[in-house]
Amino acid sequence: MIRLLITTVLCAAFATQSVALSCLRPDPIETFKRLAAAEESYFVLRGTLTFDEAALPPSVGDNDMAQPDPIPGFFVGSGLSKQGFTTDYVGNVLLQVNCAGPWCGSARSNVEAVWFVPFSDPPAILQADPCGSMTFFEPTDAVVTMLESCMADGTCVPVSE
């Protein structure tokens, strides 16, 4: 009985230390479909965000991570319309890194990406969540073409990579 009690206590102690964030692999096409059905409005940007990477919080921090302050950045790219990624989008933006407990999202400066952005007054707020579900770095041509198809006529099927 005592052996069972000691084993249970040890398992519980180790279990709390090994808890990790578990994310499904994000998919830009599934993200498009999910957000298209959402009550909130979103737009899709494709381009390059430039910002100070030193301002990023650690990807794993204290259990009581406060929500980091937004990081100013500059975006050069285009927005998705029914005609494709044809609407120029150039200007100041904010990068909001979101945290879930001790895990925080991340981003890369000067790397082409597709960003799903909640509609708001300027400046646009690009979000980096811990699972990477709103940002897709270095999208393939197939992903870009399918996103354009999703927007143009609703033909929106996952792309195998």
Is the residue at 161 inside a domain? no
pLDDT digits (tens, 9 = 90+) for 24-48: 888 999 999 999 999 999 999 999 9
* 101 Ramachandran zone, left/alpha/beta (phi>0; psi -120 to 50): left
For the entire predicted model, the pTM comes to 0.82
Mean per-residue pLDDT of the chain:
85
Higher pLDDT, 57 or 79: 79
Is the residue at 9 inside a domain? no
Is the residue at 45 inside a domain? yes
Is the residue at 114 inside a domain? yes
DSSP SS3 for 126: strand
Residue 87 phi/psi, 5° resolution?
-95, 110
What's the pLDDT score for residue 13? 34
Higher pLDDT, 3 or 73: 73
Is the residue at 2 inside a domain? no
Is the residue at 19 inside a domain? no
What's the pLDDT score for residue 5? 34
Q: 99 is in which domain, residue-wise?
A: 24-153
- Please, what is the Cα angle at 88 between 82 and 93, to 5 degrees? 115
CATH number at residue 114: 2.40.50
Q: What is the mean pLDDT of residues 43-63?
A: 88
Give me the number of domains the chain comprises: 1
